[in-house]
Copies of this chain bind each other. A is one copy, B any other.
Amino acid sequence: MDQQDIAQRLVEIGIALSEERQLPKLLAKVVDHSLNFTNADAASLYVRDRDELEFRFTRNLTLEKRSTDNQFTTFKLPIDSRSVAGYVALNKHTVLIPDVYNRHDSLPFKFDDSFDKRVGYRSQSMLVVPIIDNLGQVLGVLQLINHMHNGEAEAFPEELRRPVEALAGQVAIALRNVVLVDQLALSQRETVYRLCRAAETRDNETGNHIKRISYFAHKLAELRGEDASFRELVFDASPMHDLGKIGIPDAVLLKPGRLTDNERVIMNTHAQLGYDMLAGSDSALLEMGATIAQTHHERWDGTGYPQQLQGMRIPLEGRITALVDVFDALSSPRVYKPAWPLEKVIDYCTEQRGQHFDGELVDTLIENMDDFLAIREEYADEFDEDEGEHSIITPAIKKPLN
């Protein structure tokens, strides 16, 4: 490989890796680019998890050609000198082995031949590099096997050592950025949840209502084929739908029984109030929150509030939230009513096709009812107050979205 090409390719790989915002896809990309860059036959990627290395992704081109089942299961290795990956992570330097079965080095680990035996593969040469970030922390280990030349496995040339270390530097940057952005996005998601849930406590709305709304809305968007950006926004913004209720006096918000017409007018201002609280920022999240707050009580037939928008004039996120908000209210038990039986919920939604709701959304909901019931079950309300909800919320909002 031309040496100028090495620089160019490394940087191209860096750019390709930096595009990827999802960790599993990033790991796959790292392995693919590494195979390609080094002419290796196989590559495995370990990611550090505290004191261990977790085996996260692998490819083996020979086994793929043979259609040998190369389904891998993840496992963890301690960071110590008993394995080559552990050794590399511990000592933070690259190991290059011409033939793992005929070693003349004094490195302390033994080669584990169980994989070769099990699948009938012959590992020979290895190039194993630590993935180290700019603070000197080991983030993982990249293990390359069998440098191919004219169809034969050869030793990895010494000249590949530095370029592969440079590649590992690129991987470190990309990994660190994905983790950083993930943490920020999760922190924002959790912040919205906590603050919206705080607002919901006033009218004794159950803690999991807004969580179900998020998952329902996300699922509907996904079933309609909306893109990831819309799906994530609607997930994060839909909990804000009732934020405007903060501005409704206790006397109206908490009144038992039927509201008078005048009280109803006051109550209905919550849609516009929520919009006013959230609108006018540069944040796409707050903008969608504002739209949802404002439009989640509009009706398909134009008889909703506050703007009497009709049909497709109601933004998709508003139509989605309108449907899932009612669906959740009907199908969940509340203090003042049991959950409706599923058939009755379905009948009601069907009856409201083209009246209250967007008919296509109703169809999607009903055709995929199992998905929605699974969400309802997973985020069912806990009536045991003693348990506290922190332990429930935290893992729930961390679940990766599809």
Question: For A191, what are the chain B residues with a Cβ–Cβ distance below 8 Å?
Answer: 188, 191-192, 195, 283, 285-286
CB of A198 within 8 A of CB of B246, answer yes
Task: List which A358-402 residues lie within 8 A (CB) of chain B.
Answer: 388, 390-391, 393-394
A170: Cβ under 8 A from any B Cβ: yes
Question: For A388, what are the chain B residues with a Cβ–Cβ distance below 8 Å?
Answer: 280
A185: Cβ under 8 A from any B Cβ: yes
A304: Cβ under 8 A from any B Cβ: no
CB of B247 within 8 A of CB of A250, answer no
Which of A14-22, A106-114, A331-339, A349-357 participates in binding chain B? Answer: A14-22
CB of B247 within 8 A of CB of A15, answer no
A241: Cβ under 8 A from any B Cβ: no
A199: Cβ under 8 A from any B Cβ: yes
Number of copies: 2
Expressed in whole angstroms, the Cα–Cα distance for A286 and B191 within the complex equals 7
Task: List which A192-246 residues lie within 8 A (CB) of chain B.
Answer: 192, 194-199, 201-202, 240, 243, 246
A169: Cβ under 8 A from any B Cβ: yes
Which of A175-183, A261-269, A321-329 participates in binding chain B? Answer: A175-183
Question: For A249, what are the chain B residues with a Cβ–Cβ distance below 8 Å?
Answer: 250
Expressed in whole angstroms, the Cα–Cα distance for A177 and B192 within the complex equals 23
Could you list 18 A-B pairs, sorted by A, with CB under 8 Å? A8-B165, A11-B169, A11-B170, A12-B169, A15-B172, A15-B173, A18-B176, A184-B185, A186-B283, A190-B281, A195-B199, A198-B243, A198-B246, A198-B277, A198-B278, A201-B246, A249-B250, A279-B390
Cβ-closest 6 pairs across A and B: A280-B390, A3-B3, A11-B166, A195-B195, A250-B250, A187-B283
